[in-house]
Amino acid sequence: MDVPVLAPETDAMRVAPSSVTPSTADPLWWRSAVIYQVYIRSFADGNGDGTGDLAGVRSRLGYLRDLGVDALWFTPWYASPLADGGYDVSDYRAIHPAFGELAEAEALIREALELGIRTIIDVVPNHISDQHEWFQAALAAGPGSPERERFWFHPGAGPNGDEMPNHWVSNFQGDTWTRTTNADGTPGEWYLHLFAPEQPDLNWNHPDVRREHEDVLRFWFDRGVGGVRIDSAALLVKDPALPEVPELVEAGGHPNTDRDDVHDIYRSWRAIADSYPGTRVLVGEVWMPDPVRFANYLRPDEMHTAFNFDFMTRPWRAFELRESIESMLEVHAPVNAPSTWVLSNHDITRPVTRYGRVDSAFAFANKRFGTPTDLELGTRRARAAALLSAALPGSLYIYQGDELGLPEVEDLPDGARQDPMHFRSQGVDPGRDGCRVPLPWSGQHPPFGFSPPELTWKAGGAAPAQPWLPQPQDWAKYTVEAQEHDAGSMLCLYRAALRIRRELDVLSDGGLEWLASEPDVIAFSRGGGFVSVTNLADRPIVLPEHHEVLLSSSELVDAPSGDGRLAPDSTAWLRT
Ligand code: GLC
């Protein structure tokens, strides 16, 4: 029988009435924080409707404390038609009714803080939902109206205006312009959307747009959030002439990406963040191949950190990973910002799947159905990658479910898929639903404790609600319940790693020193007698001299005879 999820009796669920832990008083907490990404729809369902919610998260705060995280980043939890999983916000000051209410979010922020866990919210400034009152007002007000100036409305090109104003490319594939219909039924102006048509781009030259977002920041900082993750942060400012993208783009010269003016926005946001007590951080989603342009976002009066996506996109090869680590540390040094380490998120193929493929690099454009995957190999490497990334200097992001070693779900029924990336690719790209499947908590059968079965039974004997995306039947082995007491599980590995990371001062802020090693090995010291070694060779390697193996992602070969060697695709943490 499933273990009831919401039973308040069990320890893991009880929120201890403790005082705020010292770590929340540390102004530099963000430089080495472990940040757990909650995709709220799929984390835990508190009311039995098959969709994750705030009540579910509150009931699992004990789990997050035991995991050892410093902060939670919530993907958008606001009112939204969910055309893009909530990245289409219709009201920033309201919680989506399926997730709960504002008062509950406030309670969650408070309760988490009592456990020493900060909350980071997601702000999506490039676009809003087409159902947002501003966009609805703009459609109603018609061409030439002040309401339309908050967006990018434009007459079409060509003699009848029936061609798009330009040919900018969408991150979601497909067109970036959609034509409107006038009140009298005739074809009207076009509007810009760098993502789906349900996500019209805002005009950041408009003072209302700036003011509104500054108010939204204050609204949430007033409610105690510790930071803001900034969606699509490099895209906000556009060249008002809306020119085509030139063949050769000079730095700062792209008409819709990384324009120099975008930095003014973050300077003003930083001033707002700094006006609050405690350190409220700005974390940018900045996809930027040019390292210097990337680092510009991290200047001392702009964002605190930005996602380092380079590491995550690299294949499982020592040379590639070492080069990525080196270059990321180098990029961050001049602006004195810590790097972030990210193995995945709600947009990316799960690590155990990715690392189990012949091509273990990640690129959106390469995602295909039916790619052969060796999950055993992928899991082994993902364990090694977890320890490698947790040993690096900077802040660490963990996407929910990676600590359980969940694989990408690649065989979702077509009718269940929701991601616009899938549909806009004409079904070629599997999309991102496969990494968003609800978490398995306990029991032998779906919903694996994700929804509380006892509530649905009480509500009239109906069958328990099915999760909004179906879970594979064979996920019993991945539940928290199954892993919690299995010393060899991914969950126990993560818990042990985060405990050691917290206990050892040398693993907080700072640098690293590379150790001489053979080419397929990544070995470095963090000082204070701590060494991390990752073996990407195809045979076991002899470990550097050490006093103690603190943690290892796989059993040492020949251990416990004393001369243990590190198996392929493994990481060991050593005290030397
Ligand atoms: C970011 C989000 C992604 C979303 C997109 C548009 O890349 O991570 O999930 O679809 O922005 O808002």
- What digits encode the pLDDT tens for the residues 376-386? 999 999 999 99
Domains of the chain, each with CATH number or no CATH: 22-127+207-238+256-413+472-493 (3.20.20.80), 133-192 (3.90.400.10)
Q: Whose CA is nearest to atom 2 of ligand 1?
A: 231
Which residues sit with their C-beta closer than 6 Å to ligand 1?
84, 87, 124, 195, 231-232, 285, 346-347
Task: Check whether the bond before 447 is cis (ω within 30° of 0).
Answer: yes
Q: Are 407 and 446 spatial neighbours (Cβ–Cβ below 8 Å)?
A: no
Average pLDDT of span 291-311: 97
Q: Ligand 1 centroid to 187 CA: how many Å? A: 30
Ligand 1 pocket test, candidate residues 87, 418, 422, most atoms within 8 A of CB: 87
Ligand 1 atom nearest 87 alpha carbon: 12
* pLDDT at residue 465 in the model: 82
* pLDDT at residue 14 in the model: 33
Average pLDDT of span 429-436: 98
pTM of the model: 0.94
Average pLDDT of span 225-246: 98
Q: Ligand 1 centroid to 193 CA: how many Å? A: 13
Average pLDDT of span 319-335: 97
**pLDDT tens column, 177-235:** 999 999 999 999 999 999 999 999 999 999 999 999 999 999 999 999 999 999 999 99
Q: Are 378 and 401 spatial neighbours (Cβ–Cβ below 8 Å)?
A: no
* pLDDT at residue 461 in the model: 58
Beta strands 71-74 and 34-38, pairing class:
parallel
Q: Which of 132, 53, 129, 54 is nearest to 87 (CA)?
A: 129
Q: What is the DSSP letter of 515?
A: -
CA dist., res. 298 & res. 266, Å (int): 10
Average pLDDT of span 39-59: 97
Ligand 1 atom nearest 347 alpha carbon: 9
Q: Which of 358, 340, 543, 514 is nearest to 554 (CA)?
A: 543
CB atoms within 10 A of CB 335: 15
* pLDDT at residue 563 in the model: 72
Ligand 1 atom nearest 195 alpha carbon: 6
Q: Whose CA is nearest to atom 3 of ligand 1?
A: 347
Ligand 1 pocket test, candidate residues 41, 84, 421, 436, most atoms within 8 A of CB: 84
User: Could you tell me which residues come within 8 angstroms of residue 42 by beta carbon, excluding any fewer than 6 positions away?
Assistant: 52, 400, 401, 436, 437, 438, 439, 450, 467, 468, 469
